[in-house]
Amino acid sequence: MADFYPYLVSSLPMLHFGMKPPFSFAGFLEICREFIPERDYQVLCSLGEPAGCGEDRATPKIIRGWMEFDGALRNELVKARAQRLHVEPSQYLRKDVSPDQSLAAAVTAAVGNPSPLDAERSLDEVRWKALDELATGHHFDLDFLITYAWKLLILIRWEHVRNADPVGILEHTLQKVRG
């Protein structure tokens, strides 16, 4: 299909952390399908699957940048949780990821938060800001759509959290504990 990135991007609603998602991920993909080349569409389709993004040279640079950030964030989480549990973190760290000391304070605050929900929210805010940084300089291209898609997935995740039945979750958890 034709390459109409400027039209597509300008027609998408702006996303703000904490808002209700304007459409589903499938709906986003459907909007994109008719305006971008098939190879770019396939890249967007792979974003919703955890193992969908490869680590080869054909992988867009922005995806490699996100994977590097995500690996660094996960390593900082391992370090913070290991410290709380008094265990050595080295066996759990991804060795192929460069450390990012700028994440340490945010992760320490999240791990120390007594509310798991608030901790997850603060980590997703860190992710959102990282996506903003990755999107800098990208306005009407695939890289913009990639960061938009990941932000949309964050919003969708929080919409599921907001719509969850707390009593049902508690009952399910208790059933699992009781065996």
Q: Cα(7)–Cα(95) distance, rounded to whole angstroms?
A: 42
pTM of the model as a whole: 0.86
Residue 113's φ and ψ, nearest 5 degrees, are: -70, 130
116, with CB counted inside 10 A (0-12, 13-18, 19+), is exposed
Task: Say which residues have a Cβ less than 8 Å from residue 117's Cβ, sequence separation at least 6.
Answer: 161
pLDDT tens for the chain, 179 residues: list them.
557 999 999 999 999 999 999 999 999 999 999 999 999 999 999 997 655 455 555 789 999 999 999 999 999 999 999 998 999 999 999 988 888 888 999 999 999 999 999 999 999 999 999 999 999 999 999 999 999 999 999 999 999 999 988 777 777 677 777 76
Assigned token pair, 24:
């589903």
Q: Residue 157 contacts by C-beta under 8 Å, 6 or more apart in sequence?
A: 124
Burial class (CB in 10 A: 0-12, 13-18, 19+), 161: exposed
- For the chain, give every domain's residue range: 5-178
The values of phi and psi at residue 56, to 5°, are -95, 180
